[in-house]
Structure 1
Amino acid sequence: MSRAPSLTGRLTFIILLVEFVGAFVALSTSYSLELLGLVGNRDMLISDYAINHVHRLVVDSLTRDETGALGVAPTAALRSRLSRTPSLQFAVFEALDRPALPGSSAELSALLKHDGALKSRGQRFAIAARPGRDGRGYLIVDETPHGRLLVAASGYDIEWSDWFYLLSDDIGFTGAFVLVVALASAAATWRGVRDALAPLRRIAADARGIDMSSLGQGVDPTGAPAEVRPVIDAMNEALARLDASVMRMRRYTANAAHELRTPLAILRARLQNEEEPSFKADLEQDTRQLQAIVEQMLIAARLGEGQVSLEEEVDLAETVWSVVAGRAPLAIRCGRQIEFETIGAPSFVRGNARAIASVIGNLVDNALRAEPEGGVVLARVADATVEIIDHGDGVAPTDREAIFEPFWRKSEATPGTGLGLAVAKELMDKMSGRIFVDTTPGGGATFRLSFPATPKRAGPIA
């Protein structure tokens, strides 16, 4: 796995780049404003920007002969410049009251020794006999490799090479300052960014300590920069969803172990009494109960993980009829009857067909167990509502909310059906429906399922 790029390094590089670009832009802008006459010496001409380069060419041409005498012997670069600019003249003095060094331009050397021929402008001058650009010149006192000298030139013109030399010369003067500032800025940026990211390192340490038993605690965003708070919030939300999923899995595992224990114990007891007349019917009823519980838990788990659709269009009457028809043989063998009726036009609802069938199957199985022998369980469909009606002991008003809690029992001696009803309620909630219980006229329990209706043209029950 490749190493991730450093945010600190990136920010430091970007800041340094911005500083260097800013320095270049500032220098270029300064030259441009001077050329436009908006700042600096407004008497300057574009040709005056050649002074630095011409001065360097003259200084580089200084040399001593075999006797040690100092003179000017034009280098190839200076000779080339003279050929391109015939008006260019130069002169070098050890002092103005002394003759110019050998190799200096005779005319300029003579003019600089006559005060009346010059109009002094500080380091720059103008030759009265040469109006315009050719008469402009400069006189600079310079510490050369050969000592302190006065270097003068006139008649120069600007060339492209002069601009590059000017930039490099200015950068040479200001480069040290810019470099020091840049290094100081880089150090400050590096330290500042690392300090700012310190909470992220603490958050990373917290995240590494999270395991399956501590998903819900999330990551503490205290001290985190505002820019990364959305990332931390999103991570905590993801951890919360994962924690909810894990808790749901644990709950289903615990529910299954707890609720399946009773039917399995009953099934085992029945297997030890094979001579009972109702042995086969009771055995079938017990296995049906186990199947219903497993089916409910499976469909609830799939709905919880978003693996099945909740947007199916379900024919409610057809679904209830298929459940009733499947339980009818069992009801007959158990000495009970089960009836089905519909009121009004067929009802179509939005949900999941398997989930609805699972809930109805659980309610029918419970009703068959509660119904006295010889009695009739009624399954009724009307206006997006399903009623499963029995005539057993019923549910006390004080227990009508509690029965939908996991593991609820009226007493320890009562077989538990709380898991089935708890999962049934969870499934109905996911499908935006309701499940509740009322008293059957004459005694017993009536469980009602209410669904949001979906308009559909009437059609026969399949």
Structure 2
Amino acid sequence: MKFTQSLSVRLVFYWILGSFIAYFTLPVTVFLPLSAFHIGDSSNSSLESWTTKRSKEILTGALRRGEGGALIVERTPALLRQLERNPRFRFAILERATDKLVAGSDDGLFTALGRSGVDSYSGLFHVSDDPDPNARGFVRSVDTAFGKLTIATYGALFHWDDALWQLLNFFSLNNFIAFLPLGTAAALVASLVVRRSLAPLRAATVEAAAITVDSLHKPLGAKGMPIEISPFVEAVNGAIARVEEGVAAQRRFTANAAHELRTPITVLRARVAKLDASDLKREITCDVRRIQTIVDQLLVLAQARERRCDMRLCVDLGATALKVAADFMPVAIDAKKEIAFEGPEEPIMVRGFPWAIESVLGNLVENALRAEPEGGTVIVRVGADARVDVVDHGSGVAPQDRRLIFEPFWRKEETTPGTGLGLAIVKELARELDGEIRVADTPGGGATFVVGFRPFPPRAASAIGVQQVEEAL
């Protein structure tokens, strides 16, 4: 993700930029309107007060040393223009070291400053007998190249270029340095505000990342979400709801189709049973059995999905695996193979449904019998860690195919028998049981399918009782 694409970075940047612009335009955007409408502190209650600082700069720029080293005010072009634009402009400059007026100063203005004939406003003053009530003067001690001076100005009228001049002079190094603490504080506050404001969005992101096909019923939380982002979250929730409806419709269709297929398959098996014994009959019988197995698995998967919320039920994994091994013993004998069962020393209780676990293990045992060489033995092993290993000694599964074999309709070769749906359904069914399935090598050759189930807490298992659960089913 590019740095400039970050919403947090953009918000903080614009916050700081806005603070910078606001700070350096305060003279014109805030103080000037206040002065124009006589609002606020009396020191800034008239437009004429805006001319005082510029007058001070003009006067300090006009100071010179005359003959004999005396300080004088030279009539510079800037000062002449100031006098021309302001006919009533007066000024007085006191040299603090000598306590004398600089040549060119207005004695009357200085005298007025020394008596009670002025009304002072924190550096600004108004001569009491002046008929213009808006006239303002400025008096301030300043450090110059000629030493410390006291400069007083009075009678300058407001001009719009005075505001522009003050705005430009506000962009100084000193003001910029003064802005740094404000800018830093603004950045910290903006970062905290943005992070806090976007916290619900980050939480929604975590929720969205955890959504799977089985958790579509859980919409993204909109609590505390900014109103600007709420429509997006609502749109996502709407999309999730539509996807959930589509998935549910597909699952209903699959379950209904599987249910409808049971009758014609039963009829087909009955008709095949009437055929005379032959190799063709045996092949057709195997094919019909495969079809019925897939249909039964689809129905079991649909039932597991419908009853997933009732996963408090527990099953004895060892007893269930033994039952599956016993059921397939006749098939193994007919194929001149054997099934060996290795059970646990104590009952292993897992979460799930007996018929669902039987379907998973039955498919794996049936596949193992097909892969096992004639005269060989398929091993069904139940571990204390709620794991079942179904071991064959056939050709095995290549490492590059171990992920693909669980994909729907995948077959290594076109001549490979089957539809490629069995292991895909087993994987989905194991997931519905909160379990997992994988394939590994069998020592000496072959494949070992490992199915892990979710153990049931021992205390809860003893409280519920396996027999009670099976009766409830």
Class of the TM-score when normalised by the shorter of the 2 chains: 0.3 to 0.5
Q: Whose Rg is larger?
A: 1
TM-score normalised to the size of structure 2? 0.44
TM-score normalised to the size of structure 1? 0.45
